[in-house]
Structure 1
Amino acid sequence: MDKVKKLVSQRAVVVFSSSSCCMCHTVKSLLHDLGVNAAVHELDEEPRGREMETALAVLVRRNPLVPLVFIGGKLVGSTDRIMSLHLGGELVPLLHEAGALWV
């Protein structure tokens, strides 16, 4: 859990993902298209990915686990939450507030 907390605190936007997950790709693409330089951690490629996955599962208490997005050090959620915020016009202001967007 300490490793996850440290990673989340280091960047404005952090995405925990799996390289073969289509929903992860969708969220990462959306953030990229918005101009966000998110820190992306592919749990299936990380040396301690399994440990991080376990810590995240305890934190969110749900499956499937990925993608999981943190903005401004706070858990925002997965694909459904990110898309809901985006469609509702709330994602960009949240990203601005976290310092992930400058324009």
Structure 2
Amino acid sequence: MCHAIKRLFCGMGVNPTVYELDRKEMEMALMRLIGASSAAALPVVFVGGKLVGAMDRVMASHINGTLVPLLKDAGALWL
């Protein structure tokens, strides 16, 4: 997860679970699961087992107000 997204979540009081893709096999398996054709789609964020998307989608969700309800529904944010 990129530094900006980690900072966003920590600033909101969310403790993200991070899985670093340090092995090519893991990266390729995730890309197949999310339907990505290149590594440019990584990193991606899942909230409550649901794919939110890459950094642009996470930031757009934060700006348009849909990220907080998603985090609350997943039990990641209690406020």
TM-score where L is the length of structure 1: 0.68
Q: Which residue of 2 aligns with 1:20?
A: none
Structure 1: stretches of 5+ with no match in the other structure = 1-16, 18-23
**Percent of aligned positions that are identical:** 53
**Bigger share in strand:** 1
Summarize deviations over 1:33-73 as a string: whole Å, max 9, x none. Answer: 111111111213xxxx3221011111222331322110111
1:91 to 48, 54, 67: 67
**What is the RMSD computed on CA atoms of the aligned residues?**
1.3
Q: Which residue of 2 aligns with 1:62?
A: 37
Residue 75 of structure 1 pairs with residue 54 of structure 2: no
For CA contacts below 8 A with separation 6 or more, give which structure has more relative contact order: 1
2:6 to 28, 33, 49: 28
Structure 2: stretches of 5+ with no match in the other structure = none
Amino acid in the other structure paired with 1:52: M
Q: Which residue of 2 aligns with 1:11?
A: none
TM-score where L is the length of structure 2: 0.87
Distance 1:62 1:82 in 2: 20
Q: Which residue of 2 aligns with 1:53?
A: 27
